[in-house]
Chain A
Amino acid sequence: MVDATVLYIVLSILLFSLILNLMLTLNVMRTLRRLPIADALPLTPTPQTELPPVLATLLVSGEVTSFNAGEQPAVLVFLSSRCPKCQEKKAEVEALLPLATAAEVHLWLVSSETAWRTRRFLSSAVLQQHAVLISQENYKLLNPRQISPFYLFIDHDARVQAGGTLGDENWQSFCEQMMEIQQSAGALN
């Protein structure tokens, strides 16, 4: 029979190694997040090529749809509940929604997170209306680096036109275009 004192010393050593293990693992995790591993992957699917049909489930109704339904051009916006910047981008996207609808462009908020998390993250009913859930495989197909906030422009033939980070040049010119369309529509009325 081992002395109780020895037992507690052994237990303490085990605990310390567990602590060390946890600290090192967490550190590796944080280091990995900083490394540009993902840069080896392309930013977007190959431009000008047609996307394979990606099935997407509408968050609110549960209906299954595809991104070029009705052969309209579409904007796919990838936000994640995980990224701090996405919280700030929600308002910008929400403001774009009526403009996109007026310009006959589909705007989808694409997520591969669970329904309840997406619902909770988007919070506004208008944004939820435009949210679709896709599988993780398809998510990687559309957004290879799995970055957010990210966007893809798809034309009426489901060909990829452009993609990038929300707020980059292409995105800004898209926003300006939407504004112009609204202004000219306003002038007509």
Chain B
Amino acid sequence: MGYELFLAEVIRFYLGFILFAAAWGKSRTYAYFKQQLTESFRIPTVYSRMLASGILALEWALALIILTTGHQLAIIVAGGLFSLLSVVLLYRYLATGMIKCSCFGEKDRPVTDYDLLRNGLVIMAFMAFLCLDNPASEMALQWLFFSASLAVLLVLITINLSDIMLQLIDMAEGR
């Protein structure tokens, strides 16, 4: 079994779990997420309700499809959605310098540079997946297990990137 298949599976699990974490985090802080759409992203309350439930439903659906079937189309749609949200986030961040986003369920913490770096990394993973030609062969169960756990570890580091980086900086500066 080639490394390409393994890599593709790791990235597929990675993207699936990223979307899963995003959907999970937003569901956990749903009221806050909806409120921030209005406050930080200037979306009128009437639409933010619709938009919040729309984004949430789409994320849940995409996460489940990617994790179970790994359908190419689902990855493309998810990549598009994620890039779009990231561009909006980047635009609002540069425009106001102080926004809050419950992207992965983070509450009472403004968006930091590292959150944007995180989104950049995820977009790169989307692109990497689409660049790999996806061989349609099946992996043995132990491989599947291994790639999934590797992906979960990477997801955990990715979604907590801001906290980890700030902690590392504190350590380096001797606080």
Residues of A that sit less than 8 Å from B by CB: 5, 8-9, 11-12, 15-16, 18-19, 22-23, 26, 29, 82, 84, 87-88, 112-114, 123, 136, 146
Please report whether the interface of chain B is mostly helix, strand, loop or mixed according to DSSP: helix
Interface residue B117 (Cβ < 8 Å from any Cβ of A): no
Number of A-B contacts (CB under 8 A): 53
Given contacts A19-B156, A26-B160, contact A8 B98 (CB under 8 A): no
Q: Is the CB–CB distance between B145 and A22 below 8 Å?
A: no
Q: What 8 pairs between A and B have smallest CB-CB spacing?
A: A15-B149, A8-B142, A87-B98, A8-B146, A12-B149, A12-B146, A84-B110, A12-B145
Report the Cα distance A51→B100, complex, angstroms.
39
Per-position 1/0 for B140-161, Cβ under 8 A of A: 1011011001101100110010
Q: Is the CB–CB distance between A29 and B167 below 8 Å?
A: yes
Q: Is the CB–CB distance between A136 and B175 below 8 Å?
A: yes
Report the Cα distance A87→B149, complex, angstroms.
39
Chain A residue nearest in CB terms to B152: A19
Nearest CB of A to B108, in Å: 7
Q: Is the CB–CB distance between B97 and A87 below 8 Å?
A: yes
Interface residue B124 (Cβ < 8 Å from any Cβ of A): no
Could you say which residues of chain B place their CB within 8 Å of the CB of A26? 160, 163-164
Residues of B that sit less than 8 Å from A by CB: 97-98, 100, 108-110, 140, 142-143, 145-146, 149-150, 152-153, 156-157, 160, 163-164, 166-167, 173-175
Q: Is the CB–CB distance between A23 and B156 below 8 Å?
A: yes
Report the Cα distance A8→B98, complex, angstroms.
45
23 interchain pairs, CB-CB under 8 A: A5-B142, A8-B142, A8-B145, A9-B142, A12-B145, A12-B146, A15-B146, A15-B152, A15-B153, A16-B149, A19-B149, A19-B153, A22-B156, A22-B160, A23-B156, A26-B160, A29-B163, A29-B167, A84-B98, A87-B110, A88-B98, A113-B173, A136-B174
Could you say which residues of chain A place their CB within 8 Å of the CB of B150? 15
Could you say which residues of chain B place their CB within 8 Å of the CB of A23? 156
Could you say which residues of chain A place their CB within 8 Å of the CB of B173? 112-114, 136
Could you say which residues of chain B place their CB within 8 Å of the CB of A112? 173, 175
Could you say which residues of chain B place their CB within 8 Å of the CB of A12? 142, 145-146, 149
Report the Cα distance A136→B172, complex, angstroms.
12
Partner of B108, one of A8, A22, A84: A84
Report the Cα distance A9→B143, complex, angstroms.
9
Interface centre among B108, B143, B153, B163 (most CB of A within 10 A): B153
Could you say which residues of chain A place their CB within 8 Å of the CB of B160? 22, 26
Q: Is the CB–CB distance between A146 and B142 below 8 Å?
A: no
Could you say which residues of chain A place their CB within 8 Å of the CB of B156? 19, 22-23
Nearest CB of A to B21, in Å: 12
Could you say which residues of chain B place their CB within 8 Å of the CB of A16? 149
Chain A residue nearest in CB terms to B100: A84
Nearest CB of B to A47, in Å: 25
Could you say which residues of chain A place their CB within 8 Å of the CB of B153? 15, 18-19, 22
Report the Cα distance A5→B163, complex, angstroms.
36
Nearest CB of A to B161, in Å: 11
Chain B residue nearest in CB terms to A117: B169
Report the Cα distance A80→B133, complex, angstroms.
47
Nearest CB of B to A13, in Å: 9
Nearest CB of A to B95, in Å: 13
